[in-house]
Structure 1
């Protein structure tokens, strides 16, 4: 199934017969394509300067991203900001977005429990993500975690074996690394510190590759 998925070009949604010319137009179309409902939060667009040399793709908005309407503002986003600063990569010069643009969750009392996007949800948004990347025009597209890899590569890839520079099927320069939320889930302090330092090292290399591609 994953091989078939990898061979498929991103498909335009039904009824979508025009090419969005700007990011604003793209996001307006995306927001109208699927209204929020039970277990599905509001549309959260990407953020950053058009022409940013680096574009980071995460999984989906979390609870805080849904509340604020901005990507990477929750705990994982704060960790990404700190790691970028240590790596010497200004967050303001990068574009951040998600493979899936709405928070999917299960309501348990007052809590909203994160639900991993399905393969169908990832596939449905691939066309939009492709248009978003083409409009931003980054030098390097970074997959943060398994969902972003599946969206960009068109198939699941093991992060540990694929981590590092990667050429996406559309011939874009890319890089695969962990999602910052992975670091937050590590319980052992030494393991977390080691993993964090490796993540900062990835970001430093990404910054170097983006500069070299300029």
Structure 2
């Protein structure tokens, strides 16, 4: 039988993120990072997890990836203030590399533990379209640990009353080894945001 990890309560139902002990990531994070945006935004953007700057500032998408997302939103004709932005995992998972804290991909058990919060946000906001940035976000949104970007990108997927649009996370473009790959990934992000915007507009017209 698996030994329970100290300080971890996967069945906990906390009322606030600061109280959350559903996985162990809270131990090494500065703080939990909640989502931000209008209560009833028609579009929700879900990333993987807070990065170094998000962990320090307590707000989502305020680091380099956030700056690229902002640029892509402008190019796609989407107003950031009309979008709810959040992450599949609310605490920064990292490993030391010299004096820097380097991103480490969340494990499936951490994604599963934090879905408690994403489902609350989705219920409160009620978006018509959810943009999943990266594989971790897609797995969480679809509640499917085997979901892949390759199988989902390029077309919207209906899931529990929401249209799901999947694309790369901006950090993937930032880590690209050459300008051509970076531009290709960035263009895919812009295209996905345009598609999400089109789906939102179509929903409004159908009302």
Bin for the TM-score computed over the shorter chain: 0.7 to 0.9
| Structure 1 residues 102 and 51: CA distance shift in structure 2, 3 A | same
In the other structure, the counterpart of 1:21 is: none
- In the alignment of these two chains, the number of paired residues is 191
Equivalents in 2 of 1:158, 1:49: separation in Å?
A: 29
Please name the residue that 1:165 is paired with. 156
SS at match of 1:56: strand
Deviates more, 1:89-98 or 1:157-166: 157-166
**Separation in structure 2 between the aligned mates of residue 120 and residue 114 of structure 1, nearest angstrom:** 17
Give me the whole-angstrom Cα distance separating, in 2, the residues matched to 1:146 and 1:179.
8
* Match among 11, 14, 26 for residue 11 of structure 2: 14
Q: Is the partner of 2:59 in helix, strand or coil? A: coil
2:178 aligns with 188
Contact 1:87–1:204 (CA under 8 A) maintained in structure 2: yes
Change (3 A) 1:154 1:83: same
Structure 2 residue ranges without an equivalent (≥5) = 1-8
User: Is 1:43–2:28 an aligned residue pair?
Assistant: no
2:167 to 171, 177, 191: 177
Q: Secondary structure at the match of 2:68?
A: helix
Question: C-alpha deviations, 1:17-69, integer Å up to 9, x for none?
Answer: xxxxxxxxx8x5222113832x3341001000111110001000000001111
1:90-139 per-residue CA deviation (whole Å, 9 max, x = no partner) reads 11100000000000111334211211110000011112211111101111
Aligned-residue CA RMSD (Å) = 1.9
Structure 1 gaps, min length 5? 1-11, 17-25
Q: 1:15 Cα shift?
A: 4.4
TM-score normalised to structure 1 length:
0.83
Q: Which of 63, 85, 98 pairs up with 1:74? A: 63
Matches within 5 A, 1:1-214: 14-16=11-13, 29-34=16-21, 36-37=26-27, 39-155=28-144, 156-163=146-153, 164-168=155-159, 170-214=160-204
Higher relative contact order (CA 8 A, sep 6+): 1
Counterpart-to-counterpart distance in 1, 2:96 and 2:176: 25
| 1:103 match: secondary structure | coil
Residues 161 and 14 (structure 1), Cα distance of their counterparts in 2 relative to 1, 3 Å cut: closer
Moved segments of 4+, more than 6 Å: none
